[in-house]
Chains A and B, each alone.
Chain A
Amino acid sequence: MIDAHLLTLIVFLPILGMVMVLAIPGSQRQLIRITAAFFTFLVFVLSTYLFLVFDRSNVQMQFVEHYSWISQYNIWYYMGVDGLSVILIFLTGILCFIATFAAWNIEKAVKGYYAMYLLLVTGMLGVFCTLDFFLFYVFWEIMLLPMYFLIGIWGGPKREYAAIKFFIYTLVGSVLILLVILAFYFKTGSFDMLELIRERPFQATPVFEKVLFFALFIGFAIKIPVFPFHTWLPDAHVEAPTAISVILAGILLKMGGYGLLRISYPMLPGAAWDDGVRYFLAILGLVNIIYGALCAMAQTDFKRLVAYSSISHMGFVLLGIAVLNAEALNGAVFMMFSHGLSSAMLFLLVGVIYDRAHHRDLSRFGGLGTKMPIYLTLSIVGFFASLGLPGTSSFISEIMVFLGSYQVYLGITIAALLGIILTAAYILWTVERVYLGKLRPEFEGFSDCSGREIFTLVPLALLLILFGILPNIVLDVFRESMQYLIQIVTLQ
């Protein structure tokens, strides 16, 4: 029974939560928080259920719901998931639940915050669930407004700048995506993604296909973000409240990768499989890796640094996608997943210290490890997971990308290998500056992580390690789907 409408339930539960939150008087802050937590918990439970019952060996869409929506336009309410979606829905379920708690200490307009937050959750889940292009775009855009508000109202001192920048970049990207969607629609009169994948309407016009591919690519590249469309990210991250940074880095960045794999590649395989295009994308991925790492090293703001590290990591995703063989592609998707966990953890870690010190200036930290041993331990797990230390899921994803890319782009792979040295350098340097060294007197009174903070951090740490040791738990979910994708793309 529940299976028939599982996706609908997952996607729209947060909306229900939003309505409930709005119905509660604004003065009942705790009740609002608990309500939000309850609904995100439900989402978490359902997404875990989805993760567990998903048939791993089946490459077809599962849990499909297909109803006519707007018949005049041939728009359908079309939901369905494959392995790629499932893994990202699972990630969303985890992070949304955790981020609810990360925002527990927000006191400003709690009601508004959680209402927006739950709306955002719906948008994200919707993007991963839908198979109708139009619906996809609607969900894609639904995320925009709440995010703008969440950064703009609950953000830091320069939130205005950040919110606008986020807004503009995202909008430009989505306009490009819209144009491509329209191009498909004009060509075929259909918004059905699976049908478009089957038909490949632009295969006969390779040049135009490439144009579309790049329009779409820029749209998604802004989300990933790919150099040189990345500058919105650090600003947005720095100004956003911790929980929103978590969502932003953990899930929103994955939408770019998801879009490429769900839309660009299977629908425009001619362009995607073109040698020049692949090479170009791989180069961009490499640039992201190196450039992101170098930029991260140049930062003095803790959160900015973490933001740039995301850029660096997403380079692996792009590289893996560009290479498009089994190892690299699975690695890229796994990277999306594990980066979701690790970057979320890093932002939470930054949030912990920001709540105490009220600044994020790296040069003014030092010796925090003495005062906050639990925090130190968790930080080490978080940072080393981000560094790609074996035993964490990031490692598996990184090596998979490398194993794949080595077979195709030797030079790029070698250069990217240097990137992992840089990664180690900036992460260790950060750890050294923040946690190690002599304790600064102003941090004397700092308390260690609170129960809530531990509750948000420990699950992520454990998952990072668990999936590092037993990666197949995650890999099994999307492997067949990715194999199928490769088949589709390479079948010319």
Chain B
Amino acid sequence: MDTQTVFRNLQLVLPEIVLTLTILAIIGYDLFLRRETSHRTGLVALVGLAIMAVFLIRQGTTPPTEAFMQLVRVDAFGRFFKFLFIATTALIVLFSLHSREVRTYKSGEYYAILLTATLGMCFLVSAINFLMFYLAIETVSLSSYVLAGYLKRDRMSSEAALKYLLYGAVASGVMLFGISYLFGITGSFSMAAAIGGISTQKVALVALLFVLVGFAFKMSLAPFHFWVPDVYQGAPTPITAYLAVASKAAGFGALFRFLLPLFPDVEIGQTLQGVIARLDVRPLFWVLAVVTMSVGNLVAIRQRDLKRLLAYSSIAHAGYITMGLAVMNAKALEAMLFYFVAYLFMNLGAFLVAMILINKLGSSLLDDCKGLVSRLPFLAVAMAVFLFSLTGMPPTVGFIAKFNIFYVLIAQGTWWYYSLALIGVGNTVVSLYYYMRIVNAMVLQKADVERPPVSWSPADGLLLLVLVVPTIVLGIYWSPLIRFVTVALQ
């Protein structure tokens, strides 16, 4: 590998390099800041993300290239997720700047670690080699563990971190063990080779399942979701939102990358060089989707804490997205990518509301939300919009997202998929039930006790607006989003 190649390769990861430099800058800048002023590093992070976005956009014209001795592949598909991560991270930074929880601690490292996790994700979705994949996923995980436990003096946060760490470590250990077998079977760490090499041999299938555990953990698919509620509840709210959106998207992105060769009509995967995939994993995802959405929705019903409820709801949404994997074609992939964008706005919005509530009231219990509409009308209306979108009601983007997924299912035209769609609809109804309970508490019920009036800052409103507007506008006019998604698949 000559210097020229190295430089060319480095050029391909320029956005990631920008991000790395930002992290370094934050760490350096943080040395000069006191606790009270340390949140300024967040602004640095924003600037860094902006620059990264610019580089990413400039990269838009380069054809798909494999770099670093086929460790990563730089293509539109990865860029789609990277944009997603940048947007999410930027919003999370904004959330964090606004979060009382986060601001009680010195936040230099916080932003550094946050961006590190993002960096890991960027590599995760580009990785086409298990080595890179493992490194990236561990980067994400390790950063996330720290972030989840960032509120050092908070018991729940520590507990969340511990649970997350132990669970994550075991999951990644199992995955690694699986990878080791796949290596043994194919003699290569190439992910495409692994997929191509898997025969119906039992060992190979077991190994594949072991690997999928790692993905499932990140994607919070049942039955590997147990960490989710506890971690989401205990972690600082912006981090919860981050885990729910970015981390999950990264997991899905990586899985898509891994399984792309199995998508019959998608051309962007690594060439299999004559190897035809003999594997049909669709039934597996059929089951996982059903279990995941059902568990998420059913358990969500009895939750009384908004954050925990949203945690279950995010499990359920992972289930909805997984329905697309049960179909596994280009249309389904499009629908799933679309869903992520929709999910980004609506779920971040919902978590933002939870965060604002914690800022204002110090708790996110549903009981404390009662009668909120009279005290914080905009917050209540915005929350209603987000929840309606999460339910999948027009005219919100959540409706279109669900519509796409169900469309793909029904277009398959077999009873397996009809029944999956039916289960999906049933789950939507269940989800409506608990989402509406939140809205009902906010809008219809009276507060049990007289509460002091709460202040409302323009920043709250602005942040909400940033998320409410796309949630609705994209629900009415989503053509750009479709284009954005289709570009990712070229």
Contact = CB atoms under 8 A, between A and B. Distances in A.
Pair from one complex = yes
Interface of A: 69-73, 109, 112, 137-138, 141-142, 144-145, 148-149, 152-153, 159-160, 163-164, 167, 171, 175, 182, 186
A70 B410 contact: no
B373 A70 contact: no
Contacts of A159: 444
Contacts of A152: 440, 443-444
Interface in B464-482: 475-479, 482
B444 A70 contact: no
A298 to B, nearest CB: 28
11 contacts: A69-B477, A70-B482, A109-B377, A138-B475, A144-B393, A149-B381, A159-B444, A160-B445, A163-B444, A171-B432, A186-B407
Interface in B374-401: 374, 377, 381, 384-385, 388, 393-395, 399
A109 B374 contact: yes
B358 interface: no
B436 interface: yes
Contacts of B272: none
Contacts of A71: 479
Given A167-B436, A182-B410, A138 B395 contact: yes
A306 to B, nearest CB: 24
Given A141-B393, A141-B394, A160 B440 contact: yes
Contacts of A70: 477-479, 482
User: What secondary structure prevails in chain B residues at the interface with A?
Assistant: helix
A153 B436 CA distance: 15
A149 B393 contact: no
A70 B384 CA distance: 26
A138 B394 contact: yes
Given A141-B394, A186-B410, A149 B443 contact: yes
Which interface residue of B432, B439, B445 has the most chain A CB atoms within 10 A? B439
B279 interface: no
Nearest to B437: A164
A6 to B, nearest CB: 21
Nearest to B443: A152
A165 to B, nearest CB: 11
A138 B403 CA distance: 13
User: What secondary structure prevails in chain A residues at the interface with B?
Assistant: helix
Nearest to B479: A70
Contact of B444 (A141, A160, A175, A186): A160
Interface in B344-389: 373-374, 377, 381, 384-385, 388
Contacts of A164: 436, 440, 444
A380 B470 CA distance: 51
B411 interface: yes
A152 B477 CA distance: 29
A141 B443 contact: no
Contacts of B407: 182, 186
B479 A142 contact: no
Contacts of B395: 138, 141-142
A72 B400 CA distance: 13
B388 A145 contact: yes
Contacts of B482: 70, 72-73
B445 A153 contact: no
Nearest to B429: A175
Nearest to A151: B444
Nearest to B480: A70
A109 B373 CA distance: 10
A72 B410 contact: no
A72 B393 contact: no
Given A70-B479, A70-B482, A153-B373, A145 B444 contact: no
Contacts of A163: 440, 443-444
Nearest to B384: A145
Interface in B264-280: none
Contacts of B377: 109, 112
B248 to A, nearest CB: 26
A79 to B, nearest CB: 15
Contacts of B479: 69-72
Contacts of A175: 425
B444 A137 contact: no
Given A73-B482, A171-B393, 16 more contacts: A70-B478, A109-B374, A138-B395, A141-B394, A141-B399, A145-B385, A149-B381, A152-B443, A153-B373, A160-B444, A163-B440, A163-B444, A164-B444, A167-B436, A182-B407, A186-B410
Contacts of A142: 394-395
Given A163-B444, A182-B410, A137 B478 contact: no
A383 B477 CA distance: 46
A70 B399 CA distance: 15
Nearest to B334: A72
A148 B393 CA distance: 14
B485 to A, nearest CB: 10
B411 A186 contact: yes
Contacts of B440: 152, 160, 163-164
Contacts of A182: 406-407, 410
Which interface residue of B384, B385, B394 has the most chain A CB atoms within 10 A? B394
Contacts of A186: 407, 410-411
A112 B373 CA distance: 10
Contacts of B393: 141, 144, 171
Nearest to B445: A160
Closest 4 CB pairs of A and B: A160-B444, A141-B394, A138-B395, A152-B444
A109 B375 CA distance: 11
Interface in B441-490: 443-445, 475-479, 482, 486
Contacts of B399: 141
Contacts of B381: 112, 149
Contacts of A160: 440, 444-445
A118 B335 CA distance: 34
Which interface residue of B373, B393, B425, B432 has the most chain A CB atoms within 10 A? B393
Contacts of B436: 164, 167
A182 B395 CA distance: 16
B389 to A, nearest CB: 11
Nearest to B385: A145
A259 to B, nearest CB: 16
A167 B381 CA distance: 16
